[in-house]
Structure 1
Amino acid sequence: MITLCGFPLSNYYNKVKLALLEKGVDFTEERVAIGATDEAVLSCSPLGKIPFLRTAHGALCESQPMLDYIEAVHPAPALLPADAWGRAKQHELITFLDLHLELVARELYPQAFFGGSVSEAIQASVRKRLDKHLAGFRRLASFTPYVAGPDFTMADCAAYVHLPLVGLSTRIIYGEDLVLAHGIDWKAYAKRVSERPSAQRVDADRKGDQAARQAG
């Protein structure tokens, strides 16, 4: 049995959850807050980050190793191509999504989503990097109709949870959705993915968690 630890508002939690649902893996969920300092969490995720997995083999943290483990122990239905080149190209796309897009845009989130503030210097730096990185990502991604081609793959588990945040945060901060500005129609893409039962479950759980937080 696999236990996914974290909470449904986290895009990285949902990246992993999408893969589990797509594969029909039997898993449970355990709510764990960001930055927990108790030994039960740190023994699984040494930096106190979420998400992480509890498995029959032990604990595993960081979303991409988690997806690779899930793919290895539950190979069907496959979320990666069978050939080495195809797998490498998937990881190339995921690296762009995780590190070059989402992690950069994350510097805007305190002001975009949480009522904080981000200095003008950081805003300018983020915009410069995102303009460069989005142009690069557009060269790699096909969106025909999924990120890497006609099939839903591991790269879509990242793209579906990251691209809306990058687009929304840049629209709030700069008055312009930089993802759309670079010719990446993430809204049409997200609409297509949202028709999948896995995405519908992820979205429903995320919205439910957000409503509960606001009510509490």
Structure 2
Amino acid sequence: MIRLHGFALSNYYNKVKFVLLEHDIPFEEVFVQPSQEDAVRAHSPLGKVPWIETDEGDLCESAVIVEYLAARYPDRQIFSADPWEAAKERELIAFVDTHLELVARNLYKEAFFGGTITDATKARTEKLLAHHIAGFVRLAKFAPYLRGERFCVADTAAFVSLPPVGMATQAIYGRDFLLDAGIDWKRYVKVVGERPAAQRVSADRKAYVEAMQQQRT
């Protein structure tokens, strides 16, 4: 049994969870928040989530975990059986995770958590995102999924990561960079959200947010 460690507010946790649910891979969820405590870093060296616990040991980094799942459960066909299509799916995941979400993450402290970021950070992030989103537009099809008519593993990454990118840019710059580039991520998320696995991920995330809000009141 795979044990997935993390929490429902983490989009990378939710990406792995989406893959597990979508491909009917049995797993157990273990609530853990990012931490620099030794008890966490013993399993995830940087103290990040998610990580999975397997019979062989622990494994961290969401992209690596998805690759492991694809290799361990080849019958589930997590990636396309066609080598070119599988490579294009990996390419899209890299764009979403590294070139979009990881860059936009520089904004989250102020956009979502009440902190403050410097004007230099805002300027640098704006420049990078504009460049990266333009590249993503040339790559993704959104017809209606990233690769076209067929849902693929890249959509699990985009489903959980495009919303915070759009919302963060709206909060910091007063405009949604994705919408400005012609990416109707709300429509896209609605389409992907019709899948039972996506609905489960969204419902669990909503429940977590509501529970946190109740604790603050």
TM-score, structure 2 length as denominator?
0.96
The SS at the match of 2:74 is coil
CA RMSD of aligned residues (A): 1.0
Amino acid in the other structure paired with 2:151: F
Correspondences of 1:102-113 after superposition (within 5 Å)? 102-113=101-112
8 Å contact from structure 1 (residues 9, 206) kept in 2: yes
The count of corresponding residues between Structure 1 and Structure 2 is 215
Give the superposition deviation at 1:78. 2.0
Correspondences of 1:106-125 after superposition (within 5 Å)? 106-125=105-124
Correspondences of 1:162-201 after superposition (within 5 Å)? 162-201=161-200
Which portions of structure 1, spanning 4 or more consecutive aligned residues, are displaced by more than 3 angstroms?
none
Once residues 138 and 132 of structure 2 are traced to their aligned partners in structure 1, the CA distance between those partners, rounded to angstroms, is: 10
Hey, what does 1:94 align to over in structure 2?
A: 93
Correspondences of 1:25-174 after superposition (within 5 Å)? 25-39=25-39, 41-174=40-173
Hey, what does 2:4 align to over in structure 1?
A: 4
Amino acid in the other structure paired with 1:21: L
Give the superposition deviation at 1:151. 1.6
Once residues 68 and 96 of structure 1 are traced to their aligned partners in structure 2, the CA distance between those partners, rounded to angstroms, is: 16
TM-score, structure 1 length as denominator?
0.96
Give the superposition deviation at 1:71. 1.4
Once residues 3 and 48 of structure 1 are traced to their aligned partners in structure 2, the CA distance between those partners, rounded to angstroms, is: 17
- Listed as ranges, the gaps of 5+ residues in structure 2 are none
Once residues 75 and 117 of structure 2 are traced to their aligned partners in structure 1, the CA distance between those partners, rounded to angstroms, is: 44
Give the superposition deviation at 1:90. 1.1
Give the superposition deviation at 1:36. 4.1
Once residues 67 and 151 of structure 1 are traced to their aligned partners in structure 2, the CA distance between those partners, rounded to angstroms, is: 19
Once residues 19 and 75 of structure 1 are traced to their aligned partners in structure 2, the CA distance between those partners, rounded to angstroms, is: 13
Once residues 85 and 199 of structure 1 are traced to their aligned partners in structure 2, the CA distance between those partners, rounded to angstroms, is: 26
Once residues 154 and 130 of structure 2 are traced to their aligned partners in structure 1, the CA distance between those partners, rounded to angstroms, is: 21
Give the superposition deviation at 1:85. 1.9
Amino acid in the other structure paired with 1:187: K
Once residues 150 and 25 of structure 1 are traced to their aligned partners in structure 2, the CA distance between those partners, rounded to angstroms, is: 24
Give the superposition deviation at 1:42. 2.0
Give the superposition deviation at 1:160. 0.3
Once residues 42 and 152 of structure 1 are traced to their aligned partners in structure 2, the CA distance between those partners, rounded to angstroms, is: 35
- In structure 2, relative to structure 1, the CA distance for the partners of 1:121 and 1:13 (3 Å cut) is same
8 Å contact from structure 1 (residues 135, 182) kept in 2: yes
8 Å contact from structure 2 (residues 35, 41) kept in 1: no
User: 159-168 or 75-84, which moves further after superposition?
Assistant: 75-84
User: 41-50 or 180-189, which moves further after superposition?
Assistant: 41-50
Give the superposition deviation at 1:35. 1.5
The SS at the match of 2:22 is helix
Hey, what does 1:22 align to over in structure 2?
A: 22
String of CA shifts for 1:68-111, please: whole Å, max 9, x gaps. Answer: 11112223442311122222111111111011000100000000
The SS at the match of 2:64 is helix
Hey, what does 2:207 align to over in structure 1?
A: 208
